Structure 1
Amino acid sequence: MILYSEALQHLLGAATPLPAERLPLQEAAGRTLASDIHSAQALPPFDNSAMDGFALRANGAALESGTEFTVQGWQAAGDGDAEGGEGAWEIMTGARMPGGLDTVVPIENVQILASEAGRPTRIALKSVVRPGQNVRLRGEDVAEGECVLRAGQRVDINARTLLHALGVGEVVVMSRPAVAVIATGKELVSEATQALESGQIRDSNRPYLVGRLHAAGAEVVWQGTVGDDVAAFDAALDQALAAGARVLVSTGAVSAGRYDFVPDALRARGARIVFHKVAIRPGKPLLFAVLPDGALYFGLPGNPVSAAVGQRFFVEPVLRRLLGLAQEPVLRLPLQAMVRKPPGLRVHARARVELDEQGQLSARVLSGQESFRLMSMVQANAWVVLEDEGDLVPAGSAVRVQGWGHADPVQLTGREWE
């Protein structure tokens, strides 16, 4: 049995970043940027009006209330260049500022003195107008040549919106790790609606892992369920590898029981067992191996929370490495109450991060931490990691807090905001 820190070194040492690929922007949702993106244009691309009103020339000086102007033209959104002259121009929100004009007064702050064919021809200011007000300047949001996104950032909806506005049609992103998920156990029933016979349970680990892997940036290229049968397991591995999987994740059959066949089955295939059993709770029997072709294999325990811990704290660091990401940032928050833990083990506890009336964040470890309990997974919004050697972590201790997945920040919802 090895320490988590030692296991993590083995994991990261076995993984190298994947190559990059170029994709159309509309196909890059959720992908990880492989290089920085610099804007080839300014945003806004031209000076424009922030509201409906009248464009004026202030030339750095305030315009006094009562000042009158002749309206010399009209400018709508989408109109091209125009020379503003000395007078006022009626202008719409988003319209390009006529040349020489530098200030916009809202329509409600002017008095219409004269009109012709429904268009104002002379106006007077109702109040003082500050120079430059209500104008969006060229490059005020993004300057030409500015770095707008960094390598390692995820192409989320906000990034895609910005890139589309800047005229970026393609992006260079990291290839997605190709992953397979294998659930083992003759007791497993795959279909949620299928009636259970005596001794059977539903296979909840596989859909959970598939969902978490997808959220973590991987592509699940194969998934399946096998019984406690080495031949069926070998066939599943062959199918997963044929589908292109370079990371394989299984659940169950890695402990020390009669039907825990995975370690021997891997050795029989020529796999190198890097470690088997880690000083953690839950999930101590976790196994990591490298197959003869270099594919990485994670054997996670079968209990649901043990599998979740293996995915979050063993598989996801490797996925980050494959995606070329830096070490994951973490929070350190005070514990609300004292927590007991097994000495010498790193504990991964389901917890809630909550906000008190003074606006201070703290972490509350939930009751019912047994590895078979699924309700606490629903109730939790974070993981608390207890790393101390002792068996008691006092209230107020600063502890490591991580989101449900490496790409998922802690989400504060529900009563902790009340």
Structure 2
Amino acid sequence: MISYPDALALLLDTAAPLGRETVAIDAAARRFLAGDVISPLALPSFDNAAMDGYALRAASDIVPAGSSFAVAAMQAAGDTAHALPGAEACEIATGARMPEGFDTVVPVERSERQGERVRFLADERRGQNVRHAGADIAVGARAFAAGRRIDAAAIMLLAALGIEEVDVVRRPRVAVITTGSELNAPGPLPPAGIHDSNGPFLAASLAHWGVEWLGRTRVPDTGDAFVLAMRRALEEGADLVVTTGAVSAGRFDFVPAALASLGARELFHKVAIRPGKPLLAARFADGPLVLALPGNPIAVAVGYRFFVGPVLRAMAGLPPESPTCVRLAASMPAKEGTRHFGLGTLACDGDGQQVAHLAEGQAAYRILPYTQATTWLSNVAASGATADAWPLDPADAA
């Protein structure tokens, strides 16, 4: 039986970053940048007014209350006039370009218009209320580093910079196969039947990551049906196949033999973890990586979070994730040499320090505690006062 760190190292060694492709920014959400993005222009691109008011050339550091200036023109947002020769002041709108030589904006609410002149009601500072060119980002500066996941904020900046397309890492092509003659779709259940929850869970989790979805297949406890599903995934060019169930050592645990019959090379089978010990990993030559998870729902959740998640990170070219060390309110059940994964919540104690509380009633078959948790916790020491804390979903750490 292999340790969790050794199993993870084997997986990451075989999960090479995928290639790159160019996409429009409208299609780039949740994708990972394949290279640095360099700003093609400065933001703002010109000095502009931060608010509606009056722009002027300040003659000193302070424009005294009661000062009066002739208003030469109105400068609106989008106006292209660069200069107002000989002008003392002009009315200006928020975002409008500052005329050449103008350096100060006085808010309209602190002014009094008197025909073609404006009088200021309070002392004003030279240089106030002006957004200077390049104050947000300079031309030639790095806007984003390779590996950045493109979120709505990134889309906003890319659009502001006039960037229409970006190079992103190709999305991994992923197929899911759930095994079990007892599994059923939603609806009335036959005697001894259960609803398939692992398939929908993996589909939702992988969609949140942003994979190219090849679909999921539910097969009964027969090796032949599983082999057909695997062959279909191979034909569709899967990069990763995730399976659930039939991976332990019982009569109906056919997955190891079926993968071997198809030519997959086993990387490991059984990991010193709880829950999820029977987990298996295999690799097809010039083909997909296969992660075969046990069938219990929380063992599937652990397998996705701590095996599939790191593989997806590696395929995106991201570095390994680092957990946060937190203090435990009560010790986790643990067996020396075994990595235990548990569900919990994080709260602050009276000193403002983060403390982890284990969810009650945890078991590999119990789903409700998972829905109430806010963090994964892991430890290897039976008497440890601390544990590693991880976001529930690996996509939230990317």
TM-based fold match above 0.5: yes
Matches of 2:284 and 2:191 in 1, distance apart?
A: 36
Report if the CA contact (8 A) 1:222-1:243 is conserved. no
Distance 1:59 1:379, change over 3 A: farther
Deviation track 1:303-331 (CA, whole Å, cap 9, x = no partner) reads 00001111111111111111100111321
Matches of 2:39 and 2:78 in 1, distance apart?
A: 22
Matches of 1:35 and 1:59 in 2, distance apart?
A: 47
- Aligned ranges for residues 232-311 of structure 1 at < 5 Å? 232-311=225-304
Deviation track 1:233-274 (CA, whole Å, cap 9, x = no partner) reads 111111122222121000000011110110111111121111
Matches of 2:342 and 2:59 in 1, distance apart?
A: 63
Report the equivalent of 1:346.
339
What is the TM-score normalised by the length of structure 2?
Answer: 0.97
- Aligned ranges for residues 19-418 of structure 1 at < 5 Å? 19-58=19-58, 61-84=61-84, 85-113=86-114, 115=115, 121-190=116-185, 192=186, 194-356=187-349, 358-388=351-381, 391-393=382-384, 397-409=385-397
Report if the CA contact (8 A) 1:253-1:260 is conserved. yes
Report the equivalent of 2:9.
9
Matches of 2:383 and 2:216 in 1, distance apart?
A: 40
Deviation track 1:174-208 (CA, whole Å, cap 9, x = no partner) reads 00111100000000012x2x111111111100111
Report the equivalent of 1:415.
none
Report if the CA contact (8 A) 1:34-1:174 is conserved. yes
Aligned length: 397
Listed as ranges, the gaps of 5+ residues in structure 2 are none
Report if the CA contact (8 A) 2:47-2:98 is conserved. yes
The alpha carbon displacement at 1:21 in A equals 0.6
1:44 is aligned with what amino acid? P
1:324 is aligned with what amino acid? G
The alpha carbon displacement at 1:156 in A equals 0.5
The alpha carbon displacement at 1:409 in A equals 4.7
1:145 is aligned with what amino acid? G
1:75 is aligned with what amino acid? Q
1:400 is aligned with what amino acid? D
Q: Secondary structure at the match of 1:339?
A: coil
1:302 is aligned with what amino acid? G
Deviating more after overlay: 154-163 vs 364-373: 364-373
Matches of 1:98 and 1:23 in 2, distance apart?
A: 38
Distance 1:160 1:186, change over 3 A: same
Report if the CA contact (8 A) 2:234-2:287 is conserved. no
Report if the CA contact (8 A) 2:321-2:397 is conserved. no
The alpha carbon displacement at 1:340 in A equals 2.3
Report if the CA contact (8 A) 1:177-1:247 is conserved. yes
- Matched-pair identity in %: 45
Report if the CA contact (8 A) 1:230-1:261 is conserved. yes
Distance 1:96 1:357, change over 3 A: farther
Distance 1:365 1:60, change over 3 A: farther
Listed as ranges, the gaps of 5+ residues in structure 1 are 116-120, 411-418
Matches of 1:278 and 1:224 in 2, distance apart?
A: 26
Matches of 1:348 and 1:91 in 2, distance apart?
A: 60
Deviating more after overlay: 84-93 vs 37-46: 84-93
1:58 is aligned with what amino acid? A
What is the TM-score normalised by the length of structure 1?
Answer: 0.92
The alpha carbon displacement at 1:86 in A equals 3.9
The RMSD of aligned alpha carbons is 1.4
